[in-house]
């Protein structure tokens, strides 16, 4: 049986409110807030990126795992904002953790799903016996084009999971992936901002794959929504995961611990992984947790987890997700936010 030995989160402390963005673009803030169920989003400082956040989240995971980093045999960072197009984030992460040089790494990309892919691959390398411990990380500092709807939600954060075979805090009982070619949101090589299909990103994209994966894994596992303590969905805004829950038959209470988007925004590859870390922060031994991610392009990865008693021993070994979400915040004006996000054109 393989599962999670350690988990960790990292969220930058800067925030910008929906009103602040709307003011600059002459948009109606209340409509965005209500329509998307978003209030504010996290913003990385200029000295933070996918790699720095992955390092801090992974260090938090190591604190809970209590293992020697040299025993990590594989590292996968999933992101759509890797700092380099060619030079893997996983190599820097491995060096920073002290896992180098005996490990395998490759960077992953699949819009917002790349984090759970890293988790899927790390888990299966452990299951197959190829490695003792595998690390899967979802981290992003994605951009939304200025004035576009996605600017209100594109945020920054990271979550890391170390998989192993013993001393698990959560068993992974089942996995299931559902993938099609669906062009709802994409970014071509050398383009700075992504493009998307507007309302096409809803039913034919997010909902089709999330419910497809959700139903698929429930059937595979022979389980019903009521069997679960909690469910975590990909959260591009506050509204979509609540509706996904309704469609699949989950209650609001089951969704809530992992529902971070209204105060966090969409951390892309970190979105459902951070929902999971926030849920693990409150889960008890025996709880079943369902995770369904979503990445445009399109696909969903689903996991069924069962929490073990070890969660109580390690939960407080590292900072809790909600503490990073709610405390010690620094609110930015749009000008500083635009400077931080390199949206201002400077001299060559």
C-beta of 46 vs 129, nearer to another protein: 46
* Number of shown-chain residues binding another protein (CB under 8 A): 21
- Which residues have C-beta within 8 Å of that of residue 52, sequence separation ≥ 6? none
Contact between 48 and another protein by CB under 8 A: the answer reads: yes
Contact of 111 with 150, CB cutoff 8 Å: no
Single residue of 27, 35, 45, 334 touching another protein by CB under 8 A? 45
Q: CB-based burial of residue 336 (10 Å sphere; 0-12 exposed, 13-18 middle, 19+ buried)? A: middle
Site string for another protein, 19-38 (x = CB under 8 A): --------------------
Contact between 56 and another protein by CB under 8 A: the answer reads: yes
Compute, in degrees rounded to 10, the torsion defined by CA atoms 194, 196, 198, 201: -120
Single residue of 92, 142, 211, 237 touching another protein by CB under 8 A? 92
Contact between 330 and another protein by CB under 8 A: the answer reads: yes
What is residue 292's three-state secondary structure? strand
Give the C-alpha separation, 103 to 99, whole Å. Answer: 7
Tell me the closest approach of the beta carbon of residue 87 to another protein, in angstroms: 8
Count how many Cα atoms sit within 13 Å of the Cα of residue 214 in the half-sphere of its side chain.
Answer: 27
Omega of the bond leading into 332 within 30 degrees of 0 (cis): no
Whose CA is closest to 159, among 125, 116, 123? 116
Choose one: 26-34, 92-100, 187-195, 298-306; the region binding another protein (CB under 8 A).
92-100
Contact between 254 and another protein by CB under 8 A: the answer reads: no
Contact between 191 and another protein by CB under 8 A: the answer reads: no
Contact of 35 with 152, CB cutoff 8 Å: no
**Among all chains, which residue has been given the structure tokens 């894994």?**
217
Contact between 55 and another protein by CB under 8 A: the answer reads: yes
C-beta of 13 vs 215, nearer to another protein: 13
Single residue of 26, 47, 101, 222 touching another protein by CB under 8 A? 47
C-beta of 44 vs 138, nearer to another protein: 44
Contact of 265 with 229, CB cutoff 8 Å: no
* Residue among 39, 56, 80, 151 flagged as catalytic: 80
State the residues that interact with another protein by CB under 8 A: 13, 45-49, 51-52, 55-56, 59, 83-84, 92, 95-96, 98, 328, 330, 339, 346
Residues acting as catalytic residues: 80, 112, 234
């Amino acid at each position: 049986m393989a599962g999670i030995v350690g988990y960790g989160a990292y969220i930058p402390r800067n925030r910008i409110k929906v009103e602040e963005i709307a003011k600059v673009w002459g948009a109606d803030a209340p409509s965005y807030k209500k329509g998307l169920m978003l209030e504010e989003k996290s913003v990385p400082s200029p000295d933070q990126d996918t790699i720095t956040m992955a390092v801090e989240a992974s260090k938090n995971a190591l604190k809970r795992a209590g293992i020697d980093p040299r025993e990590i045999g594989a590292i996968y960072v999933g992101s759509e904002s890797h700092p380099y197009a060619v030079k893997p984030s996983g190599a820097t992460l491995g060096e920073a953790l002290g896992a180098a040089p005996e490990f395998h790494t490759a960077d992953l990309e699949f819009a917002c799903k790349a984090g759970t892919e890293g988790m899927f691959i790390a888990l299966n390398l452990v299951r197959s016996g190829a490695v003792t411990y595998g690390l899967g990380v979802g981290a992003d500092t994605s951009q939304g084009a200025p004035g576009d709807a996605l600017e209100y939600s594109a945020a920054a954060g990271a979550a890391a999971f170390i998989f192993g075979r013993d001393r698990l805090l959560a068993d992974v009982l089942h996995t299931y992936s559902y993938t099609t070619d669906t062009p709802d949101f994409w970014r071509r090589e050398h383009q700075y901002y992504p493009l998307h299909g507007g309302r096409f990103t809803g039913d034919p994209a997010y909902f089709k794959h999330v419910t497809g994966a959700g139903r698929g894994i429930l059937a595979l596992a022979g389980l019903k929504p009521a069997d679960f303590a909690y469910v975590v969905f990909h959260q591009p805004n506050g509204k979509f995961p609540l509706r996904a829950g309704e469609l699949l038959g989950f209650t609001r209470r089951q969704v809530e611990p992992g529902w971070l988007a209204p105060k966090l925004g969409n951390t892309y590859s970190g979105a459902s992984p951070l929902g999971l870390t926030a849920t693990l922060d409150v889960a008890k031994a025996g709880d079943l947790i369902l995770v369904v991610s979503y990445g445009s392009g399109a696909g969903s990865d689903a996991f069924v987890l069962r929490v073990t008693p070890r969660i109580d021993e390690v939960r407080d070994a590292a900072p809790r997700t909600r503490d990073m979400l709610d405390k010690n915040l620094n609110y930015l004006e749009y000008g500083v936010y635009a400077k931080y996000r390199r949206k201002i054109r400077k001299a060559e």
